[in-house]
Amino acid sequence: MKPRGQPEDRDRSDRTLVAEIQGRDSDALALLYDRHAPRLLGVADRILGKTGEAEEVVQEVFLYAWRAASSFDPFRGSVLAWLIVATRSRALDRLRARRPATSAQPGGPDALARVAARDDVEAGSASREWEAICRAAIGGLPDDQQRALELAYFDGLTHSEIAERTRAPLGTVKTRIRLGLMKLREHLRPYWGKTNA
Partner 1 sequence: MHSERHEELVSLAALGLPLEDDAAEYARLLEEGCPSCEALLPELRLAASSLAATVPPRRPPASLRDELLASLSPAKRPSAASRPSASAAWVFAAAAAVLFVMIALDDARLRRQREELRAHNSDLAAAVESSRSEIARRDLRARVLESDDVRVLFLGGKGPQPNARAKVFWSERVRRGFLVAGNLAPLPADRQYQLWVFVDGKPVDTGVFDPDPSGRALFESKELAANRTAQNFAVTIEPRGGLPQPSGPIVLAGTPSG
DSSP H or E run through 22: helix 14-22
* 168 touches partner 1 (CB under 8 A): no
Site string for partner 1, 29-58 (x = CB under 8 A): xx--xx--xxx-xxx-xx---x----x--x
89/95 Cα distance (integer angstroms): 10
* 147 touches partner 1 (CB under 8 A): no
59/41 Cα distance (integer angstroms): 9
Q: Which amino acid is at 126?
A: A
Collapsed DSSP state (helix, strand, coil) of residue 5? coil
Site string for partner 1, 11-30 (x = CB under 8 A): ------------xxxxx-xx
* 94 touches partner 1 (CB under 8 A): no
Q: How far is the CB of 192 from partner 1 (least distance, A)?
A: 7
Q: How far is the CB of 150 from partner 1 (least distance, A)?
A: 7
114/92 Cα distance (integer angstroms): 10
* 185 touches partner 1 (CB under 8 A): yes
Identify the residue among 51, 120, 142, 169 touching partner 1 (CB under 8 A): 120
Q: How far is the CB of 158 from partner 1 (least distance, A)?
A: 5
Query: Interior CA angle at 35 toward 29 and 41, to 5°?
Result: 95
* 86 touches partner 1 (CB under 8 A): no
* 123 touches partner 1 (CB under 8 A): yes
* 71 touches partner 1 (CB under 8 A): no
Identify the residue among 69, 81, 86, 168 touching partner 1 (CB under 8 A): 81
Q: In sequence order, what are the residues at sequence separation of 6 or more whose Cβ sits closer than 8 angstroms to the Cβ of residue 110?
A: 104
* 110 touches partner 1 (CB under 8 A): yes
Q: How far is the CB of 176 from partner 1 (least distance, A)?
A: 10
In our burial notation (b when 16+ CB lie closer than 10 A, e otherwise), range 110-145 reads eeeeeeeeeeebebbbbeeebeebbeebbeebeebb
* 178 touches partner 1 (CB under 8 A): yes
Give the DSSP letter of residue 39: H
